[in-house]
Each structure stands twice: as structure tokens, then as C-alpha cells.
Amino acid sequence: MRLSRWAITATCALSFLVCLHAQAETEAATDPTAATPASTGSSAQTQSEQASANQIVRSSEPALRPGEIRITGVGNDSALNIAILLTFLTLIPSILLCITPFARLLVVFHFLRQALGLQTTPSNQTLIGLSLILTFFVMQPVGATIVHDSVEPFQAGKISAIRALTRAESPVHDFMLRYVREKDLALFVDLTKEPRPHDAKDISMRVLVPAYIISELRAGFEIGAMLFLPFLIIDMVVASITTSIGMFQLPPVVISTPVKLLLFVMVDGWNLVIGSLMKNFA
């Protein structure tokens, strides 16, 4: 009985050792670090083959076309590119307000509508659309210069993106410099603690852009105040007439608004206002 127990125990121990030996051989066969000197050459050959395959994959990628911007490692259709594009699109209205006469035109049109006594006619969408169209009309020569000097050479691969951005900045800088006030420039030069520029070309965009916005707002308010004066005189005359004849129950606006509209149409007001605005940028 004891012998049979010892035989069973010895058989189990032997089976366990055989299993351990088989498992060790399997791990040695699958472990790349446990290669023998004979297999070292084959592993080096495998690595060289893999490197050549990677080189073939890289060479099969399409070449960078002129004007194309590619972010390495994330792909052309990645979420990062989409986020950058959407961020740039959201900044376009702010850029348009900062470096174009859009703000001046919109302020003038709002003052004109208020002077006529009209609250919602023309609508805000109409005034904004008219301001945008006139802005494109004024900025068309600047845009043509940017396309010729910056965009086309960049698309052709003749200049880098940084160089193209520098070339595009120069026409916009010259445009804003023609309509900015020296007083506003001096204000922001003092605020930024920058040295006094020796030439107009030395003024940085950091100083020029806010000074240009203030100058445009001031010009818009000046034109709006001048437009307000004739219509204000009409309101005062109508109010004095209605008061003198005892028409206290009838608001003067009810009478003055048609009179102002009739006067504005008779003198071809839109032609005069827009013509004067455009001549300022000629």
C-alpha cells in the first residue's frame, strides 16, 4: 500500500517536472531576447528588413505639394486640424473689424437710421451686409496686392509660410497707416513703452491696430454727428409748430419722420452718404 502511494507521488512529481521543462522551452522559443548566437544574425537581418520596409512605406507617402500645410504625426483629416480651422474661422470677424473700415461704416449707418427716426428699417442684417460689401470694395486693391505678393508665391512654393505672412502684413500696414491719427499712435506707443519709431514702417502692428480702431470709431462718430444735425433741426421745427398750434396729443415724431424720409429721398441721401464715405478712402 505504501509502495503504491510512493509510486503515485513519484509519477505526479515527474509529470510536473516534464510540464515545467516544456513551458521553459516554449518561452525560450518565443522570447526574442533569448536568442542564441546562431540566431543573432537572423534577428539582425529581420531588423534590417523591417527598416527597409518602413523606408518603402515612407517613400510611398505623397510628396508635400506647394502651398500645402501638413502636421506630422496626426494626419491630414485629424481633429486637431479641424479645431485649428474652426478657430481661425471664428477669428475672421474680429480680424475684419480690426484692420478694415467696417467699424466706421457700420457706426455711420446706425447713426443715420437713428437720425431718420427709424428703429428697425433698414434691419441690422441689411446694414451689416451693406457695410461688408463696401468694405470689400475698399479693401479690394489691398487684397489684390496680398494675393500677388504673398498668396501666389506661397502656393507656387517659392516662399515659406512665415515669409508669406510677412509680405501680407505690409499692404495692410500701409492701409491702416494712411487713416490712423498721430495722437492715437502716440497714445499706444506710450502705453506699450516702446521706443519712438523713427519711420512709419517701424510702427508695430501691436501699436497700429488698436490706434486704427480708435481712429475709425472717432471718424464714424464725427460723420454720424454731422448727419444728425439736419434731421435734428427738422425735429425741432416740427415740435415747435405742433406745440404752437396746440397739437399736444399728437407726438411730433409722427409728423417729423415722414418729413425726414421725404427730404432724404429727395436729396438722394444714400448716394450722397455712401459717395462721401467712399471718397474718404480714395
Residue 259's nearest CA partner among 243, 236, 275 is 236
Q: Read off the pLDDT of residues 63-88 as tens digits, 9 standing for 90 and up.
A: 555 555 554 444 455 677 677 777 77
Residue 178 has pLDDT above 50, yes or no: yes
Residue type, 206: R
Binned at pLDDT 50, 70 and 90, residue 39 comes out as very low
Q: Give the 3-state secondary structure of residue 35.
A: coil
Q: Read off the pLDDT of residues 202-260 as tens digits, 9 standing for 90 and up.
A: 788 888 888 999 999 999 899 988 888 888 888 888 888 877 877 777 777 777 888 88
Domain extents in the chain: 98-280
Give this prediction's pTM: 0.64
Q: Distance between CA 68 and CA 157 in Å, rounded?
A: 9
Q: Read off the pLDDT of residues 106-131 as tens digits, 9 standing for 90 and up.
A: 999 999 888 888 878 888 888 888 99
Average pLDDT, the chain: 74
What pLDDT was estimated at residue 253?
Answer: 75
The C-alpha cell at 184 is 492715437
What pLDDT was estimated at residue 89?
Answer: 78
Residue written as grid cell 441721401: 269
